[in-house]
Amino acid sequence: MAAGVALETLMARYQAGDIAAATDLIDCVSPQLHRFFRAQLATRADADDLLQETWLRIHRVRQTYRAGEPVLGWFYAIARHVGLDHYRRIRRTATRERRWAELSAFAEDSHPQHDDGDLDALLQALPTSQREVIEMLKVAGMSLEEVARATSSSVGAVKQKVHRAYRRLREQMNAPDRGKKPSGALS
């Protein structure tokens, strides 16, 4: 019980701006939080990263702690949310990578006849704004946020342009007259 009171006192001092109290809190609670993450995760590095993220989050929201409430429970609630966010991020990334791999494999299998000239021709048929976004994302490897900044657009607007460009590219690639020479063309 005395340890809980001491932690609450340190937290009150930390909220008031006492750097020494913050250091003491970190020294007292970090081993417990690290064990909490280590029990859930396979690697020590992940547990270290999540502990650091937890302390950053605690620092950002430290003023929301209400004096008299159990501080250790408050710390663990934040740590739990950090862990959940990490798990969700890993799942989203794995899902995206799996979809991308499936899409890439499908694209390679279903359209082996296309060469770089065909791709350039397909891209040239797109409106300039859509072509630029596709080139930045897929050729230059930029993130959605970077493309949004570069085009002075929102991330949502960039996603919309990409979606429309993909739809238009699919339509062009599946056109019945694709790959045929125009009538009267010389061989």
Fold agreement (2-90, 113-173)? no
Write out pLDDT tens, residues 75-116. 999 999 998 998 888 888 877 777 777 776 666 655 445 455
Return the pLDDT at 65.
92
3-state secondary structure of 43: coil
Return the pLDDT at 129.
84
Q: Please tell me what DSSP assigns to residue 125.
A: T
**Tokens 């299998």 — which residue?**
109
Return the pLDDT at 141.
79
Distances, alpha carbon 126 to alpha carbons 111, 115, 164, 179, in Å:
19, 18, 10, 18
Return the pLDDT at 117.
58
CATH ID of 113-173, from 3.40.30.10, 1.10.10.10, 3.40.140.10, 1.10.10.410: 1.10.10.10
Write out pLDDT tens, residues 9-32. 999 999 999 999 999 999 999 999
AA letter at 31: P
Question: What's the pTM value of the predicted model, to 2 decimals?
Answer: 0.50
Residue 149 in this model has a pLDDT that exceeds 90? no
Return the pLDDT at 185.
42
- Give the separation between CA 173 and CA 184, rounded to whole angstroms: 22
Residue 120 in this model has a pLDDT that exceeds 80? no
| CATH 1.10.1740.10 assigned to 2-90 | yes
**How crowded is residue 134: how many other Cβ atoms within 10 Å of its Cβ?**
19
Best CA proximity match to 26, nearest among 55, 47, 53, 46: 55
Handedness of CA 64, 66, 71, 73 (dihedral sign): negative
